[in-house]
Amino acid sequence: MIPRLLRPRVSDQLQVGGKIVLIYGARQVGKTTLVREVLSDLPYRTLSINADEMRFVDVLSSRDLRRLRGLVEGYELLFIDEAQRIPEIGINLKLLIDELPHLRIVATGSSSLDLASKVQEPLTGRAWVHRLYPIAMAELRLQYSRFELDAMLEDRLVFGSYPDIFSLAGDDQRREYLVNLSASYLYKDLLEIGGIRFSSKLRNLVRLLSFQIGHEVSLSELGSQLQMSKETVASYIDLLEQSFVVFRLGGFSRNLRKEVSKQDKVYFWDLGVRNVVIDNLKPLAQRNDAGALWENFVVSERLKWLHGQQMLASLYFWRTYTGAEIDIVEERGGALHAYECRWTRAGGRVPESFQKAYPGASYEIVNRDNVWDYIGA
């Protein structure tokens, strides 16, 4: 069992009580396993509900306090798995927490878009909200040495870090798992949640984004290739982001005329999903995108670690119209920290234009020798 950084925080919050604990995350990132592990260490009599069971859905969407009381009578803790499937779940959770303050509640949801729209307003000030991502290297570090992490690095860049990947033997099994996973949550959930009519457009968009990691994304160009408006492309990317498939970095600028800041870069939370979308699970020695994979890996792992540590920081990329660029500009504690991601160990130097514009910023190359310090592993 791989330890999750979120586990002690969820456990502490359930013991404190008084608020609902909400955990968002893509399918199969381990939300249910995490909650069950937490509950196994707690002394509370627990009612566990799967939102696929209609007998529970009927009560939990009823807005009937009498029926809700009857459901949880005799229990000290309520666990609702895949809560986004229950109509009006937010209002009903509000009734429970307001009228039964002694009851501890934890709920999971596979899409922030769907669940948040149902609970955000009713539960304002009444919930602790968390996001769970694919396994972070910082979590693996709790179980493995850095020597062992080095040995598994290529697997993470090719097959990603979904929990089930670690228990599968052989590339064929891992390929099959990733194919099924991407078909299950990339398309099925998004089509249902987002009301997308043209599934082929979504698949093609994900594929185009997969080829553009590490590069700025032009909504107009994507729209032209997909025969869609740039507004529709933007809305599809927003759905992908809120469903934990991708995330965006904006361009950093202090309004200097030479800096580019209007377009975003799009990265994938899991590289296994990205690679299977383009049908390329070959070893790194047989690929021409190792640099892009490394950049995506470093950025996503850094964000996972920052989230796990509850550290406030904003990440951007930086580029000028003349071509000078930096992969990551991190604004943290009122200071700027610049990082260049390099899969090869070849050296590099800070662009002179960046140094002149931001003389107080630090600069560092992130390669295989020092990556563990940057991503908390």
Q: What is the pLDDT along the chain (377 residues), one digit of tens a residue?
A: 899 999 999 999 999 999 999 998 888 899 999 999 999 999 999 999 998 888 888 999 898 999 999 999 999 999 999 888 888 888 888 899 999 999 999 999 876 545 555 555 667 778 899 999 999 999 999 999 999 999 999 999 999 999 999 999 899 999 999 999 988 776 766 666 666 666 788 889 999 999 999 899 999 999 999 999 999 899 889 888 888 899 999 998 886 667 677 889 999 999 999 999 999 999 999 999 999 999 999 999 999 999 999 899 999 999 888 888 999 999 999 999 999 999 887 767 888 889 998 999 999 999 999 999 999 98
Residue appearing with tokens 């030479």:
258
Residue (of 153, 157, 177) closest to 165 by Cα position: 177
Query: Strand 104-109 relative to strand 77-81: parallel, antiparallel, unpaired?
Result: parallel
The confidence score (pLDDT) of residue 270 equals 97
Angle between helices 219-226 and 199-211 (to 10 degrees): 130
User: Residue 223: helix, strand or coil by DSSP?
Assistant: helix
Which helix (H) or strand (E) segment holds residue 106: the answer is strand 104-109
Which helix (H) or strand (E) segment holds residue 328: the answer is strand 325-332
The confidence score (pLDDT) of residue 157 equals 98
The confidence score (pLDDT) of residue 163 equals 96
Say if CB 100 and CB 92 are below 8 A apart: no
- Structural domains of the chain, with CATH: 7-131 (3.40.50.300), 137-374 (1.10.10.10)
User: In angstroms, rounded to a whole number, what is the distance separating the alpha carbons of residues 112 and 99?
Assistant: 26
Interior/surface letters 238-266, b for 16+ CB within 10 angstroms, e for the rest: ebbbbbbbbbebebbbeeeeebbbebbbb
Tally of CB atoms within 10 A around 367? 19
Amino acid at 364: E
